[in-house]
Amino acid sequence: MLPESAPFLPRTLDDVQKNYLLTDLLRGVSRSFYLTLRVLPSQLREPISVAYLLARAADTIADTAIVSAGKRCDALNHLRGQLQSDVPSHAVLERLQTGFTGQLDHAFENELLVMLSPLFELLLRQTAPDRTMIRKVVLTLTEGMVSDLESFPVSKNSGEVVAIALERGDQLDCYTYLVAGCVGEFWTDISIAHIDALQCWQASQKKYSQLGVRFGKGLQLTNILRDVPRDLRVGRCYLPQSWLNEVSLMPDDLMNATNSATARPLLLKGIHRTLDHYAAAEQYVVALPRRCVRLRIAALWPMLIGLKTLAQLSQQSNWLDVTVVCKVERKWIYRMMLLSSGVVFSNLAVKWWCARLRKSVLLT
């Protein structure tokens, strides 16, 4: 049992700690997303990085499969309580740290939990509007993590795994909002708050926030379709049972790679839905003013990588084979990043590139 919240005793977050959190540690836990964070306009980097680190800490707790799902849910709820408090408790944060750091294989994830107290101090240093937006998005993300653990309560030591599926398509849509769509909403709102060139979006902020939500949902659906074989082996099937019923399959049937052809309509259904979301993402990117070059690049990169991933998925004949990993080559990514420096200024070029990638997606 974690102690009740005690006063958050002021501690001095020095420049070395702050720099470590926002550079080395951020790079260590964010992998390729670090490049996107670095390309952002300077006024957005710190608040978005703080939000990312808080969400990544929560995700580390949620993914520590050696700990029971119930204990992980409890820990996430304690973390949520600290996020909602104006006086977070060092004692609670330190108990969260000690409860998980010994269970982690990833050195930077371990270090992130060690740095929870300084990270919360950095959160409190953000402006009041930024703190509100950061707390809102991280609370939504952690709500999704708790829901995930309650829906799929499987631990690493649970023995034989039986996959459980979501029941309906609306549950999948809700899940993709909680774990990704809300990020597009946050990204839009905090960009409007900080970037003068986006003041033209204020009158239609709800419209652009919804495009951002669909952008995030598209990225998450891409991940779900790519990771079906691996998710099944930890008891999770995000493809709804209502979809599986259309091809007379159960979640466990998807663990058999020989069912790839039978299950292909599920992949195509997911791809069609994801492409619809990427159409909204394209609208989002081209609506960004051309002078917001860094923002356009930060949005363009994940969209193009997502479309390329969908194309590769659609071309796999053995989609359910757990040994086959669908991953965009680094060479393609580096080439895309190089070309984007010129394409980003032209809406016609962005639309042409998206159309070309869509055309490479096999829809039969």
Count of alpha carbons within 13 angstroms of residue 163, beta-carbon side: 24
CATH of the domain at 185: 1.10.600.10
Domains held by the chain: number = 2
Q: Are residues 253 and 308 in the same domain?
A: yes
Q: Are residues 24 and 44 in the same domain?
A: yes
Number of H helices, E strands in the chain: 18, 2
- The verdict on 172 and 194 lying in the same domain is yes
Note whether 65 and 115 are same-domain residues: yes
Quote the pLDDT of residue 161.
Answer: 67
Instruction: Kindly state whether residues 168 and 154 are assigned to the same domain.
Output: no
- Give the helix ranges, DSSP H, for 157-259: 169-176, 182-194, 205-226, 228-232, 241-246
Would you call 336 exposed, middle or buried from its count of C-beta atoms within 10 A (0-12, 13-18, 19+)?
A: middle
CA distances from 193 to 39, 136, 299 (A): 18, 15, 17
Question: Are 38 and 129 within one domain?
Answer: yes
Identify whether 2 is part of a domain. Answer: no
Residues 123 and 242 reside in one and the same domain: no
> Same domain for 304 and 356?
yes
128 and 253 inside one domain = no
Range of the domain at 115: 12-158
pLDDT the model gives residue 67: 86
pLDDT at residue 12, as a whole number: 63
What pLDDT score does 64 carry? 86
Instruction: Look at residue 326 in the predicted model and tell me its pLDDT.
Output: 93
Predicted local confidence at residue 5, as pLDDT: 40
Domain assignment of residue 5, yes or no: no
Rg, Å, the chain Cα set: 21
Residue 224 shares a structural domain with residue 284: yes
**pLDDT tens digits for 271-325?**
999 999 999 999 999 999 999 999 999 999 999 999 999 999 999 999 999 999 8
Domain boundary among 158, 174, 194: 158
What pLDDT sits at residue 31? Answer: 76
Domain-located, residue 142: yes
* C-alpha distances out from residue 6 to 73, 116, 151, Å: 21, 15, 32
Angle 327-345-43 (CA atoms, 0-180°, nearest 5)?
80
- Looking at the structure, do residues 192 and 114 belong to the same domain, yes or no? no
How open is the CA angle 361-363-364, to the nearest 5 degrees? Answer: 135
Tell me if residue 318 falls in helix, strand or coil: coil
pLDDT in tens, 77-98: 999 999 998 888 888 888 888 8
Which among 167, 162, 155, 320 has a CA at the least distance from the CA of 239? Answer: 167
Q: pLDDT below 70 — which residues of the chain?
A: 1-12, 103, 105, 154-161
Q: Are residues 183 and 138 in the same domain?
A: no
pLDDT, position 230 = 95
